[in-house]
Chains A and B, each alone.
Chain A
Amino acid sequence: MVHVTIDGIELDVSEGTLILEAAQSQNIAVPTFCYQKRLAPLASCRMCLVSVENMPKLQPACATPVTDGMVVHTASEQVALTRQSMLELLLANHPLDCPVCDKGGECELQDMVFEYGAGASRFRDQKRVFRSRDLSLNQVIIFNANRCIQCQRCVRICEDVVGAVALGTIDKGMDSEVTGFENSLDDCDHCGNCIEVCPVGALMSQPYRYKARPWDLVETETTCPFCGTGCQLTIGARDGELARVRSKYETGINGETLCVKGRFGIDYIDSEQRIETPLVRRNGALEPASWNDAFDAMRGHIGDQSDIDGRRIGGLASAQLSNETLYLFQKMLRTVFHTNNIDSSNRWTGGIYDELPGLIGGLYSRQSLEEVISADVVLVVGSNVTDDNPVTDYLLRSKIRQQKNHLFLASVRPSRLDADASACVRLLPGDEAVLISTITNRIFDSRAGTHQSGVESLAEFSRQCAEAVKAATTVTVLVGMDFLRTPNAKLALPWLDGLIRRLQGSGKAAALQFLFDRCNQLGAWEMGVLPNHLPGWQKNGERLFEQAWDVQLSSDPGADIHEMLRRCAAGAMDCLYILGSDPMSAYPDRIQVENALSSADLLIVQASHHSATTKLADIVLPGAAFGEEAGTVMNNEGRIQSIRAFRPPIADTRRNIDILTQITEIFGGNFCGYSLGNLKPEHVFSEITQLVPSFAELSPANVAEEGALSRRAGYRDIPQSSALPLPSSVERTGQSNGKLTLVTGDCGFHSGYASEHSATLSGIRAEAYVEVRQSDCQAMGFAQGDLVKIRSPHGETTLSIRTNKQFPPGLAFVPENFASQHLNRLFKQGEFSCLVEILPNEL
């Protein structure tokens, strides 16, 4: 600790604390432009110069660590005059076009001049003008160089946090200009973090351009609906219309950052594909109907509760809905429809749910990502973090660069994080099991010398990773979605479970988190939206729930989505209720899912947007979209955070909880005495806290401010099987016979099937493509941009080809975010990767 005096206030701070931080801790305001907490100090704007006794010059508070006995004055006349001078200098060439500047009203330069500036300027020469019209850098970023004050926050966040290095500075002195190559950012991430950190109106959002003045906006704090990182974002609405999304300084897991999806993709809620009224199939065609007609049709099909056979009914819900909606959904299915046939994803290959209670309920680290990625060794398996969870990627990059801890990256696709990794290896989907087992054996087993993998790169990566883990005291494993999608997941999960337990047993602090690509996958599981467990990982038929819900619960093991579809196709299902999900686009085997959904007697789809699945429905119930209903979601950290409504549900749509409550009532159930009209999400939350141990003792107020970490509370440990079978690596068959291994996942501009409805995101990337290694592309005789046909044993599709020098040989990637591509025609059920040929389009 060092002792320092600031403006007469004496305090002790830890060594290395900056004068600025020490001052802020005492609520002493020191103005800054170039300072940004997440960026390395630049000390270039000179606004934060303060006087330090025994130092001849003023010192930049943002870059000067306090030393013992230091006496700082932040309010001396010299300091005040210097601030005034810096502002007069900055304003000399600033255009002062505040009346037409989007930033007016929330501009840091305006605020600083108001607070610290002189009343008048001495400057009377011509101002510098770069150009008289703003420069469009890409579809979302527009630039006015005249307003730029050269704080370089944009350039630094792009390089140091996003890792894109898309922005730079050209020329020097007064001609210094921030820009992209050839005045374009068309090839950048479009994340808009440069806009967010711009203190003035230099970098601006195109979608928000001239839409509103900041003081006209009503701002609503909420949680991003896309991936599981759980970024906090602020929706600005003018007269109830979505105007923009921004992120607040040092708020939420994301601080001030967002990815392109969160910042620009929320307009998917205003898509023309919104379903505005209930639809009922009459004479083979879906027709608009009233809510009463829709409910009548439902009752007509299903009959009374006494007619319901729980084995012949099932539900599938999207993991992007709130805990409250998901809780009510499974409660409705379990209490009114007497079924455990419940699932929350189309994409897991099955057989994994038995492994989850111990892993998710017991081992999962419910702590901040910031904390877990501070571990000596961070191993990421099965994720392209850059595309799947962009803000997690930012946090990892910042942490690894600052702390110089080790990142080991095992993934199918290359990503931008590779550059910061101590080692990385390219897997084929399904290799995760052999990777984890080899690492485990290398760490703990004398047999370690013999690794199971015949693949040299895997063996070498495992060796390096194991060595680093042995030397570490803290280890974190982050598991991506590729891991859960391969059929080998059920082999890999026990090894993962074993690795974490053995690390913990050997005295290391071992953390485990998943990198879900859906915002509430963890919550969906905690809410019991899976066939074999009640909320909170309780066993089916658990007495506690029977008492609380006042019903007799089925102890049937329940069917997952694969089994439900099989039963549908076999004519063994009366009703399938799909909430917010689109298996027709997502389920790997389009033909199978189409047969199944068409064979169900009654297909109810409750959704906010039209999809290939709603087209097959018998009854479509239009639910509220994101931003139209409140609730909570649980992010990858296990943190429960609020989502809030900034407007009521549009047209004839209704809150999802209202729809579920009404159906519950129609079929004779009730929700603890609350009925349609007086049910609030808080009531549901309150019931969850009583029944789900990880939510125990939480209140909406706990969650409201910064979110609340759920608790790892009293789960039954699943005994670890001592002798797990040794998995082997995936056969590398494709390359030998000229075929490529096709994988899919999120591309950087889209998330699942929701973001395709965003006009902004689709403006940036409207079509799917197939990405292959550059040399593979050449060897096949194609050039970037060529239209090609991709053919698997099950189907084919036509796409343009893109090349990537970093891609491993023999790999092809097609993003799954474009429903019209019908990519799932190429896969059969249970496949995550499949072998494909790439052929000229004419054939």
Chain B
Amino acid sequence: MFEKVLLRSLDVPESQDLSAYEAAGGFKSLASVLANHSPDELIELVKASGLRGRGGAGFPTGLKWSFVPKDTEKPVYLCCNADEAEPGTFKDRALMENDPHMVIEGILIAAYAIGAATSYFYIRGEYGVSTERVEAALAQAYAKGLLGQNILGSEFSHDIYVHRGAGAYICGEETALLESIEGRRAQPKLKPPFPAVAGIYGCPTVINNVETLSCLPHIVERGTDWFRSIGPESSPGPKLFCVSGQVKKPGLYELPMGISMRELLEDHAGGPLSDNFKAVIPGGVSAPMIPGSDIDVGMDFDSLAGAGSMLGSAGVIALDDTACVVRVAARIMEFFNHESCGKCTPCREGNDWAAKVLRRLEAGSGQREDLDQLAFLCAGIFGNSFCALGDAAAWSLGAALKHFRYEFEQHIDDGECPFH
């Protein structure tokens, strides 16, 4: 049985309390870092661990930190991206609700590494319990001298501010998130300059995901060799998988990165509700679906990229053979259309158009030429949108069309949904 690290306190009562966290050895890593490591050593340590960002893109965390200019006169900011809004994803929520101090310790370690005196904890607006528990944990941490001036008697001082989102998916995109913190309209910004150089208020800013930050105390405590011993060489470490959809045991699983999708879904999640998996969306709805026949694939960044999809937020959505792919595609496109910020032409106009066509197709009133329209839209949006939201919409629709074209055609030919 794989030892749970990130979810170790899932079943511990009152685990959100500082005393419970400390009882489990919490904040020892922070103390050790402050006493024994220079910021540069810490960055090297995290680089050596091979930790890659858990928010979706899988960018090496230590490398991201190293982009912060060393000689800047401006304040450096850290931002904890807790705007977990990718459909099918609920891992950061579990961390914030059950172990908020682990996230806080991770924030402090990261902040020390990059020289940030201030962090923003950007929590998804709908996450009420998470917000309450994070705020309570911050109060406890301040009271204990784990936050504020001269933390644990060191030279290091740090403040964390909670900023709640207002319900827009786009705020998970890091530059839109920064705009939102500044009180502006949440829309992605041009890169470069990258946030590491000019982020919040034009100052160097690092944005890390909740799960990424939660890995840090463990890397410090157990060492890089331990971390690298888990999962594949190119993306090591423990990983949270959010399994939902048509499986017998949906839920949150902590398993080694790179575990096969079949093992995750059949051994851990209990297999499909019906006889077979029709398709699996491996990383939230932004990730293209993989046909049920292709689930012998590693659940890590590189293996899934090789399979034409992505690990993304590891929101694994399983569809068994009773699912209607057209309906799923339509629902996903409705989501992207609703969440498009409206900045760029292809995403704003294309998602709306695609949603209209998919509604028709799902209702059975589509025509063969509608499939050409969808193909045109996928080509027009993918690669041309301003940020990844439009790309994701087109990419996921493209996969449904590619693998399940016959289901779309069936809807057109039958004039109704064959599954309902």
Contacts and interface: CB of A to CB of B under 8 A. Distances in A.
Partners in one complex: yes
Contact of B384 (A41, A46, A149): A46
B346 A85 contact: yes
Interface in B313-333: none
Interface stretch (B277-285, B301-309, B373-381, B396-404): B373-381
Interface in A77-98: 82, 85-86, 88-90, 92-93
Nearest to B343: A44
Nearest to A155: B185
Contacts of B342: 150, 169, 171-176
Contacts of B385: 46
Contacts of B340: 172-174
Nearest to B186: A172
A133 interface: no
Interface stretch (A120-128, A457-465, A688-696): A120-128
A172 to B, nearest CB: 5
B337 A89 contact: no
Interface residues on B, range: 20 to 34
Nearest to A123: B353
A282 B372 CA distance: 85
Chain A to chain B: the 10 pairs with minimum beta-carbon distance, closest first: A176-B342, A85-B380, A89-B349, A173-B340, A125-B356, A174-B352, A173-B342, A44-B344, A44-B343, A57-B383
Contact of B348 (A57, A82, A122, A150): A150
Interface in A149-177: 149-150, 168-169, 171-176
A56 B373 CA distance: 24
B173 interface: no
Nearest to A62: B190
B373 A122 contact: yes
B95 interface: no
A90 B345 contact: yes
A176 B345 contact: no
B352 A128 contact: yes
A93 B337 CA distance: 14
A19 to B, nearest CB: 14
Interface residues of A, number: 35
A174 B348 contact: yes
A58 interface: yes
B159 interface: no
Contacts of A41: 190
Contacts of A86: 345-346, 380, 384
B305 to A, nearest CB: 13
25 contacts: A43-B190, A44-B345, A45-B345, A46-B344, A46-B346, A47-B345, A57-B384, A58-B383, A63-B190, A82-B384, A85-B346, A86-B345, A86-B346, A89-B346, A89-B349, A89-B380, A92-B353, A93-B352, A122-B372, A150-B348, A172-B170, A173-B340, A173-B351, A174-B349, A176-B348
B341 interface: yes
B339 interface: yes
Contacts of A479: none
A91 to B, nearest CB: 9
Contact of A82 (B170, B369, B380): B380
Nearest to A57: B383
B9 to A, nearest CB: 38
Given A46-B346, A172-B168, A88 B384 contact: no
Contacts of B64: none
Interface in A126-151: 126, 128, 149-150
Contacts of B190: 41-43, 63
A47 B345 CA distance: 9
B365 to A, nearest CB: 11
A58 B348 contact: no
A93 B356 CA distance: 12
B386 interface: yes
A171 B346 CA distance: 18
Nearest to B360: A125
A49 interface: yes
Contact of B386 (A43, A171, A173, A176): A43
Q: Tell me which of A42, A46, A49 has the highest count of chain B C-beta atoms within 10 A of its own C-beta.
A: A46
A207 B172 CA distance: 45
A518 B348 CA distance: 47
B345 A173 contact: no
B338 interface: yes
Nearest to A45: B345
Interface of B: 168, 170, 185, 190, 337-346, 348-353, 356-357, 360, 369, 372-373, 376, 379-380, 383-386
A85 B352 contact: no
Nearest to B340: A173
Nearest to A169: B185
B349 A172 contact: no
A168 B187 CA distance: 13
Interface string A28-41: 00000000000001
A45 B342 CA distance: 10
Given A46-B386, A57-B383, A89-B346, A173 B356 contact: no
Contacts of B380: 82, 85-86, 88-89
Contact of A122 (B168, B170, B349, B369): B369
A125 B357 contact: yes
A707 to B, nearest CB: 36
A42 B175 CA distance: 14
A2 B339 CA distance: 40
Contacts of B352: 92-93, 128, 173-174
Contacts of A43: 190, 344, 386
A172 B348 CA distance: 9
B39 to A, nearest CB: 30
B384 A173 contact: no
B376 to A, nearest CB: 6
A89 B348 CA distance: 9
A173 B337 contact: yes
Q: Tell me which of B190, B343, B349 has the highest count of chain A C-beta atoms within 10 A of its own C-beta.
A: B349
B132 to A, nearest CB: 28
Contacts of B185: 168-169
Contacts of B343: 42, 44, 150
Interface in A40-83: 41-47, 49, 56-58, 63, 82
Contact of B349 (A47, A90, A169): A90
A128 B342 CA distance: 14
Contacts of B360: 125
B345 A92 contact: no
Interface in A168-192: 168-169, 171-176
Contact of B350 (A45, A57, A89, A169): A89
Nearest to A170: B185
Nearest to B379: A85
B376 A92 contact: no
Given A41-B190, A86-B384, A89-B353, A173 B376 contact: no
A90 B346 CA distance: 8
A128 B352 CA distance: 10
Contacts of A126: 356
Contacts of A44: 343-345, 386
Contacts of A150: 342-343, 345, 348
Q: Tell me which of A42, A58, A90, A174 has the highest count of chain B C-beta atoms within 10 A of its own C-beta.
A: A174
Interface in A754-801: none
Contacts of B384: 46, 49, 57-58, 82, 85-86
A173 B169 CA distance: 12
A125 B31 CA distance: 62
Contacts of B357: 125
Nearest to B188: A44
A49 B386 CA distance: 11
A122 B235 CA distance: 44
A63 B190 CA distance: 8
A411 B342 CA distance: 42
A173 B341 contact: yes
B175 to A, nearest CB: 12
Contacts of A88: 376, 380
A85 to B, nearest CB: 4
